Amino acid sequence: MIGNTGYVMRESRGSPFSQIRFKMEGCSMMTDEIATATSAFSHFSSKMKRWNEHFYPLMVQDAEEAAGHAIAELGPIFESHVWPDAVRSVERLNSPSAGLPSDYDPENDVIEEANLQSSTCVLLVQSNTGFKDKFRYTLKKRGGEWKLFRRDLFLDDTGKWRSHHI
């Protein structure tokens, strides 16, 4: 259904995210690309949540001991879902952190908007747990594959976006 805003509200195919607002420019191929990019993000988000749920209790007990195992399990997730030249991607790999609630929660977070421009898809995601932050995820398509390139946090007090570790 297209409303006055020019966005389409619908449930995403194959994604646990509850709703997505697609920026429409009159081409069904664009919505297919957005769905593919969103699916790639959803897979990454789900894997990160599982990783967090596994390592959070271990890091609470002994962060130093858990760090090596956490990095070993995080590496393949990043290799599959994050571009090597992604902005601030190495921070979590060099110093893994897990929290409660998880940074990634596809069952509760909502993709509010998805915008596609050429081979870049920007997702605005509202977190509905913890601090209820708003994030902007940038995914890039290279060689036919969508992967995460950047994560930004919206700062309510300044109304600006700030780069945030992936």
Instruction: Check if the beta carbon of residue 164 is closer than 8 Å to that of residue 143.
Output: no
Give kind and range of the element (H or E) at residue 80: helix 28-81
Stronger pLDDT, 8 or 83, i.e. the higher one? 83
User: Looking at the predicted structure, is the pLDDT value of residue 1 above 70?
Assistant: no
Distance CA 116, CA 23 (A): 8
97 pLDDT tier (thresholds 50, 70, 90): very high
Distance CA 74, CA 72 (A): 6
- Residue 30: what pLDDT? 63
- Residue 131: what pLDDT? 87
CA distances to 38, 42, 88 from 47, rounded to whole Å, are 14, 9, 19
Which whole number is the average pLDDT over 42-49?
97
List, in order of start, the domains of the chain with CATH numbers: 7-163 (3.10.450)
- Residue 31: what pLDDT? 86
Which whole number is the average pLDDT over 145-155?
98
Tokens representing residue 114 in the block: 């998805």
Average pLDDT value for the chain: 85
Q: How many CB atoms lie within 10 A of CB 87?
A: 16
Distance CA 52, CA 111 (A): 20
28 pLDDT tier (thresholds 50, 70, 90): low
